[in-house]
Chains A and B, each alone.
Chain A
């Protein structure tokens, strides 16, 4: 799928002259969740016709690396090759529950009129929040959008805290909040849907030293939406 993804990027690149859509805008990303951390965000304003991910389609290798381990270097290279306006890691590390990060973007002189971002949810196996090619508003004002959590479809949601964050490695890489347990037997096998899809949520259990999951059902579950993005067009 990496090949398909790159083909899509190349086909759409440099096809449009700088448009009248150039805007200067501030982006605030808020982690709405009660117990979930986000790995460093990759944020990109890019030309229309490109997508970091596509629900219903297999994850690219670079999306998988982000969703399973939080690595954004591959996706970042993809969007930089498009001439995208890129912001990496605006929060300067993890974005903790119920906290926000705010940054400015300026697409002046480009045709980057779509906004996307991705980041992995911790602790999960391969959940990520994604804003997918939102048309950037051009009228000055404040615009709010809520964003759901997706499952990359690439890893079984075993909910076991193994430290495995490399693509293909089983288990969850980290529990930044330190509230997960140990000794779980494995909550689930491979996803029934191997393509990118809306995450069904974590199960967790109430047994910190056993049970099916290392997650705590009272802490690590979530309901969508998980991210609120506020775009202020200046």
Chain B
């Protein structure tokens, strides 16, 4: 009796894979022209569209970082940088992008203009020199603001092979920055569910390192001390990131 569930498992695995992507082909329209070809553009331009898939977790203004190997926003098991802590606890991406801008492996950074509410989306453009395309990766980071220190995004995904007009799409999972205890208290939640403190340099989580977020418990699920409700619970994936190379 042979039972082979490999295919069904792989569907599951692919569905959950944070870094697997589907590249969408488009027409590589190379139509002829009578005019002399213009000089090739010096810049490669990417539109990064972040869609909030959650029920009641606004995403803080998104940080987009185009970089090579040698830089990463975070590593699971390693303590968050001060810049990531600032984003994860308060939704302010300026320190993270400043850290990135100071890193030689980073080509470009960009920020979203505003928080992205549930079901909302924002497109953020980032450009790099065409000469920087080989090995190019991108990281996208944002805070789930009705939490203590949950973040989501993609972390060093390769976009080096994207051709103009092509896109790749990821679905992202939530991480815990590990820098703040998950009190679920309004005093420590900067989003609309709390209105409390954002960044605090104290690190008081169960361990000072980035890991997967275990989710919001909430007062409706037995945590009487929580100021979050069942509305604020989330499951993975929490966001979608689509990157299209414009030129």
Contact = CB atoms under 8 A, between A and B. Distances in A.
Interface of A: 4, 7-8, 11-12, 30, 32-35, 48-49, 51, 54-57, 97-100, 114, 131-135, 144-148, 179, 201, 203-206, 211, 217-226, 228
22 contacts: A32-B211, A33-B212, A51-B4, A56-B5, A98-B178, A132-B9, A133-B6, A144-B19, A145-B17, A146-B13, A179-B206, A217-B217, A217-B221, A218-B223, A221-B217, A223-B174, A223-B214, A224-B16, A224-B236, A225-B16, A225-B236, A228-B76
A219 B206 contact: yes
B16 A146 contact: yes
B1 A146 contact: no
Q: Is the interface of A mostly helix, strand, loop or mixed?
A: loop
B130 interface: no
B6 to A, nearest CB: 4
A33 B214 CA distance: 7
Given A144-B17, A217-B221, A223 B4 contact: no
B73 to A, nearest CB: 15
Contacts of A146: 13, 16-18, 173
Given A32-B76, A179-B206, A205-B222, A226 B13 contact: no
A32 B212 contact: yes
Contacts of B8: 55
Contacts of B10: 134-135
B85 interface: no
Contact of B9 (A7, A55, A97): A55
B242 interface: no
Size category of the binding interface on chain B: 35 or more
Nearest to A213: B222
Nearest to A56: B5
Interface in B201-247: 206-207, 209-215, 217, 221-225, 235-236
Given A98-B207, A218-B214, 14 more contacts: A34-B206, A34-B207, A34-B211, A48-B6, A97-B207, A97-B211, A98-B77, A114-B6, A132-B9, A134-B6, A135-B10, A148-B16, A179-B206, A217-B217
Contacts of B13: 131, 134, 145-147
A56 B12 CA distance: 14
Contacts of B42: none
Interface of B: 1-6, 8-10, 12-13, 16-20, 76-77, 173-174, 176, 178, 182, 184, 206-207, 209-215, 217, 221-225, 235-236
Given A97-B207, A217-B222, A132 B5 contact: yes
B213 A135 contact: no
Most buried by B among A48, A114, A204, A217: A217
A99 B213 CA distance: 15
Contacts of A218: 182, 184, 214, 217, 223
B17 A35 contact: no
A208 to B, nearest CB: 13
Contacts of A51: 3-6
A225 B173 contact: yes
A143 to B, nearest CB: 9
